[in-house]
Structure 1
Amino acid sequence: MIFAIVLAFSLVAVTFTFHYRVLLWLGLNTPKMNLPTQTQVLVIVVVLFLTHIVEIAFYAITYSWSVSSLKLGMFQGAPVGDAMSYLYYSGVIYTTLGLGDIQPEGHIRFITAMEALNGFLLITWSASFTFLAMGRLWPWDDSCTGRIDGQTNSTD
């Protein structure tokens, strides 16, 4: 049980560090790419999407290792035995979708719970970063600012 807890928190630390480094890289390097600002936003979104896939894969590899080598538990329900099944399960948990067609048993339940919280935090961190990047890079028109032809819409 202690090993499952240490493993889960290690995964959280690794994914937080990885995510932080990707966000730092994006923040420092997308302005240097000499791309149109809207394309910079697209680069940010694609890189963050791929970052989440890598983080899901970290957990999928850990689930496979935890079941086959560490004997920390097993899965019930739909069969889980190949790489795609572990990726599917990890993606369902990471995104907090929680379909329930695969149920963990044993100490991997704790890893599953930590992945759901971790995924939720990392997804919202990415959303916040994207929101700030769009605020800086996206060419908002006057309709979004409440101005029409340089005049305010209010009757004040």
Structure 2
Amino acid sequence: MFVGICAAILMGIVHHYALSGILKFSPQRSDGSGFRIILTFSALLLLHVLELVTLAVFNTMVVASVLPQSFSNSPPMFQDVLYVTGISFSTLGYSSIEVVGPFRLLLMLQSLLGFMLLTWSATFLYSACQQVWQKAKDD
């Protein structure tokens, strides 16, 4: 569990710097066309896909080395781990693949992480939208 918490904190730090990079490289002046919104949305989508794949690789290593009996269909394929990670990260929480044992606690922690990162990104995107909409309203 400690390793999972450390990984979640590290993911939060990476997310912070990624958002800072998106802010730095997105156009600061908007012409009201919505290009900044689309660019921000696209960058956030890519960021979350990278986060999911990173977590799935981490989960695959955990399952392979520490918790080999975590899936009902052991050993799982990478796509199974990616699917379960995505379901957990997006906080849907339901999967047709059964996860058993202590690995469930790691997925629970990743659900919390996903909720926090997704809401952080949603707030970030809303802020970008608000700036564009305010500029369009003022013009």
Q: Would you say same fold, with TM above 0.5?
A: yes
1:39 aligned onto 2:35: yes
Which amino acid in 2 is paired with 1:94? F
Q: Which amino acid aligns with 1:45?
A: F
Q: Distance in 2 between matches of 1:120 and 1:87?
A: 17
Tell me if the contact between 1:66 and 1:73 (Cα under 8 Å) persists in the aligned partners.
no
Q: Which residue of 2 aligns with 1:148?
A: none
Aligned equivalents of 2:93, 2:36: Cα separation in 1: 33
Q: 1:135 maps to what in 2?
A: 130
TM-score (norm 2): 0.85
More strand by share: 1
1:28 aligns with 2:24: yes
Q: Counterpart of 1:133 in 2: which secondary structure? A: helix
Normalising by structure 1, what TM-score? 0.77
Distance 1:34 1:137 in 2: 6
- Tell me the distance in 2 between the aligned counterparts of 1:45 and 1:133: 9
Regions of 4+ moved over 4 Å: 32-37, 139-142
* Structure 1 counterpart of 2:95, one-letter code: G
Pick the structure with greater CA Rg: 1
Q: In structure 2, give the amino acid aligned to 1:8.
A: G
Q: 5+ residue gaps in structure 1? A: 146-156
Larger RCO (CA within 8 A; separation ≥ 6):
2
Which 5+ residue runs of structure 2 have no aligned equivalent?
Answer: none
SS at match of 1:96: coil
- CA drift of 1:111 comes to 0.7
2:110 pairs with 1:115: yes
Q: Does 1:87 align with 2:82?
A: yes
How do residues 39-78 of structure 1 correspond to structure 2 at under 5 angstroms?
39-71=35-67, 73-76=69-72
In structure 1, distance between residues paired with 2:29 and 2:68 = 45
Number of paired residues?
138
